[in-house]
Structure 1
Amino acid sequence: MDFIVAFLKKLPWISIGLFVGGLVLGLTWGYVISPVEFVDADPSYLRAELQEDYMRMAIDSYRLNQDPNLAVQRWKALGVGAQQAFGAIQANPKNTDPAVVQSYGELITNVLSGEPIPVEKTGLSIVQTATLGIGVIVLLGVLAYGGLYLYRLLGNRGSGEVTPTMQAVEMSRKAEKTNFEQLGLAPPITQTMTTYVLGDDLYDESFSIDTQAGEFMGEYGVGVSEAIGVGDPKKVTALEFWLFDKNDIKTATKVLMSRHAFNDPGIRARLEPKGELVLVEPQSQVLLETATLQLLATVVDLEYGKGPLPADSYFERITLELAIWPRQG
C-alpha cells in the first residue's frame, strides 16, 4: 500500500490534469459549442456510395446533354474519388446504359489525359477494403513524416548542437521575400522560403495551397533528387520541386541541378524521367504550371560545397523562394 501511495505522489498530476482538461475543453468546443459546419461543399466530400450515385447521375445527364465541358466539370468535382466511382459503375451498371458509360469514359480519357481509366473487375466491398488499407498507409506515412521532421528539427538539440535543419530554418526566416506588388504583379496565394543545408539528409519540404476561404487547391514542395560521392553527409547535386493541382491529373516537376550535374551525361540520363532539367544559378527563376496554378521558384541564395569532389558539384546551401498564383487563361 505504501508503494502505491509513493508511486501516485510521483505522478505529474498537474500535467495530467492540464492534458485531460484541455482534451475535454477541446472536444466540448469542437462538438457542442462550435461544431464544424460544411457549407456549399463539392461532391468530393460525399461518402463512396453517394459519390457513385453522383457519377451515375452525371452519366445519365450526359446521355441527354452531351456537353463535354459539363461532363468533365462533373468528373473533376468528385476529385480523387471519380475513378473509383466510375470503376464501380463499370463493374455493376445496374440501370445505367453500358454504352453510355463507355462513351462517357472515352470522353473523359480523351479530354483529360489520353490515359485509360482503370476498369474495376471486383465488387465494391473489395474497393472499400482497398480504400481503408490506403487510408491506413497514408496515416502511417503522415505519422512517419512527422516523426522524421521532428527528428530533423530536434535531433541534436539536447546536446546544444545546432543541427543543419535548425540552420536552414533560421536562414529561411532571415531571407527577404520578394514584394511582387511593387513589381506590378498580383500578390501570390502563398509565398514560402525554404533552405537546404549540407547535412540535412532528410530534406523534404511540402506546403499546402489554400484560398483565403480555406478551400484546398493543391500542394507544392521541394526535396533531394540526387546525391554524388560516398559517405556522410549526403552530397546533394540536384533538387526537385513539384506542384500538385487538385484540378489536374498530373503533378508538374522540374529538377534543379548543380553545374557539374547539369553537364554530366550520366546524371542527366538518370534524372530526365523525373522532369525538365534546369541549371541552378543565383537569382535565376523557374516556372512550373498546371491546369489552374503556377509556381515561380527563385534561387535566393546559393553556395557550392568545397571538397575532393568536382567543382560546383554539390550544394553547401541553397535557399529557394516558392510563390504560387492562379494560372490566368
Structure 2
Amino acid sequence: MMEMLRERLKNPIVAAVSGFILGLIIGLPILGWWLWPVRWVNAEPRHLRADLKTDYLCMVIDSYIKNQNQVNARARFELLGEDGQALLEGLKPGQCNLSESDINQFRAALQGPVLPLPAVTPGAEQPTTAPKTSGVTIVIVLCLVTLAVGGLLVYLLVFRRQRGGATPSVVSQAREYTRQAEPTDYAAQGQQPPISQFMTTYVLGDDLYDDSFSIDSPAGEFLGECGVGISDTIGVGEPKRVTALEVWLFDKNDYQTVTKVLMTPHAYNDPAIRQRLESKGELIQVEPGQRITLEANTLIMEAHVADLVLGGGALPPESYFERITIELSVWQKQA
C-alpha cells in the first residue's frame, strides 16, 4: 500500500491535489478549530442572546441615571440595533432594580434634546473606550497562512525539478535529447501499437530526476502510471553521479508496483552495490538499444534504451550515466 501511494505521488497533479488537501486539513481542523481556535470578542450587544441584551439595557439605564450622560446613553442604546426599542418597551419596573421613574427618565433622554453634562469634578478622569479588535483578523491570518503553506507545497512538488537540483540548462538539454529521440513505430513492424508511449531523458546534473507518466485507455480511463527515477549514486560531491535508475510500472489492478533497476556495468559487477539494490527489483546491466519488459496484472510495458552515454573520469570506467534516453511503451493485456 505504501509503495502504491509513493508511486502515485510521483504524478505532479496527484501531488499538488494531495498538498492542497493536506493544507486544508492543517489549516481548518487543526489550526483553526483545535490549536488556535477563533474566539469572537468585542462583538456589539445586538449579537448577544435576548437575556443578555436585557442585562445590557439595564446597565445602560443604570449608568444614565447615575451619570446623566445623555450622549453616551443614546450611543449605547443604539448598539442594540433594531431590538432596542422592543426591549425597552418590555422592561418592567422592578426589573434589574430599576424603578418606573428610572425607565421613564431614560425614555425621555432618548427622545428629548441633548442637555449639557453635569460639571465634572476637577482631577476626575473620564473613562476611555478600549479600541475594538475583531476575531476576523485572526481568521484572515489563518487563511493567509493556509494559502501560503498550500502554495509552497505545490511549488515544491510540481516545480521541484526546475529548482536547485537541476539548472535550467540541464533541464533544457534533457528536453532537447527527448525531442530528438525517434519513437519506435510498432505498427510498421507489424505489431500492435501501444496505448501509451513516452520518452524520458536523464542528463548528468539533474540531481532530482524523477519522471512519471499517467497511463490511460483510449476512452480516457485511468489504468496506471509508469516512470523512471534515480535509484543509486556513486562517489561524492555535486553533481551526483547516478549509477542506477529505477524503471517502474504501476497497474491500478495490481497490488504492487513492478520495478526493474538499470545499472551501469561497474555497478552491476560490484557485489556491494548489487546487495544494496537487490530489494528494489530485478537488477539489469544497461546496454544501448536493449528492450526490457515489465509485466503487471493487466498492463505490459517495454522500456527501450534509445540512447546511452556512460562516464568514468576520476571514478571507475562506465560507473555512472552521463546521459540516457528511455522509451516507455505500454499495452493492455488481452482479456
Give TM-score, length-normalised by structure 2: 0.54
Partner of 1:248: 254
Q: Are the equivalent residues in 2 in contact too, given 1:188–1:324 (CA < 8 A)? A: yes
Partner of 1:315: 321
Structure 2 unaligned segments of length 5 or more: list them.
Answer: 6-20, 27-149
User: C-alpha separation between the residues in 1 aligned to 2:163 and 2:200?
Assistant: 18
Aligned counterparts, 1:1-329, within 5 A: 143-151=155-163, 156-157=167-168, 163-328=169-334
Task: Give a deviation string over 1:129-155, Cα, whole Å, max 9, x none.
Answer: xxx759969x886652212033279x7
Return the letter of the residue paired with 2:268.
F
User: C-alpha separation between the residues in 2 aligned to 1:314 and 1:200?
Assistant: 13
Return the letter of the residue paired with 1:272.
E
Structure 1 residues 141 and 248 mapped into 2: Cα distance closer, same or farther (>3 Å)?
A: farther
Partner of 2:45: none
User: C-alpha separation between the residues in 1 aligned to 2:243 and 2:25?
Assistant: 34
* Alpha-carbon shift at residue 307 of structure 1 (Å): 0.8
User: C-alpha separation between the residues in 2 aligned to 1:226 and 1:316?
Assistant: 14
Task: Give a deviation string over 1:135-185, Cα, whole Å, max 9, x none.
Answer: 969x886652212033279x755xxxxx21110010000100100001111
Return the letter of the residue paired with 2:223.
M
SS in 1 for 2:163: helix
SS in 2 for 1:261: helix
Give TM-score, length-normalised by structure 1: 0.55
Q: How many pairs align?
A: 193
Structure 1 residues 256 and 136 mapped into 2: Cα distance closer, same or farther (>3 Å)?
A: farther
User: C-alpha separation between the residues in 2 aligned to 1:260 and 1:179?
Assistant: 32
SS in 2 for 1:172: helix
Q: Are the equivalent residues in 2 in contact too, given 1:152–1:200 (CA < 8 A)? A: no
Query: What value does the CA root-mean-square deviation take over the aligned residues?
Result: 2.4
User: 1 or 2 for the larger relative contact order (CA 8 Å, sep ≥6)?
Assistant: 2
User: C-alpha separation between the residues in 2 aligned to 1:285 and 1:208?
Assistant: 21
Task: Give a deviation string over 1:23-63, Cα, whole Å, max 9, x none.
Answer: xxxxxxxxxxxxxxxxxxxxxxxxxxxxxxxxxxxxxxxxx
Q: Percent identity?
A: 55
Work out which of the two has the higher radius of gyration on C-alpha atoms and give 1 or 2: 2
* Alpha-carbon shift at residue 262 of structure 1 (Å): 0.4
Q: Are the equivalent residues in 1 in contact too, given 2:249–2:294 (CA < 8 A)? A: yes
SS in 2 for 1:310: coil
Return the letter of the residue paired with 2:188.
Q
Q: Are the equivalent residues in 1 in contact too, given 2:253–2:297 (CA < 8 A)? A: yes
Q: Are the equivalent residues in 2 in contact too, given 1:285–1:299 (CA < 8 A)? A: yes
Task: Give a deviation string over 1:113-142, Cα, whole Å, max 9, x none.
Answer: xxxxxxxxxxxxxxxxxxx759969x8866
Structure 1 residues 260 and 203 mapped into 2: Cα distance closer, same or farther (>3 Å)?
A: same
Q: Are the equivalent residues in 2 in contact too, given 1:193–1:320 (CA < 8 A)? A: yes
Structure 1 unaligned segments of length 5 or more: list them.
Answer: 1-78, 81-131, 158-162
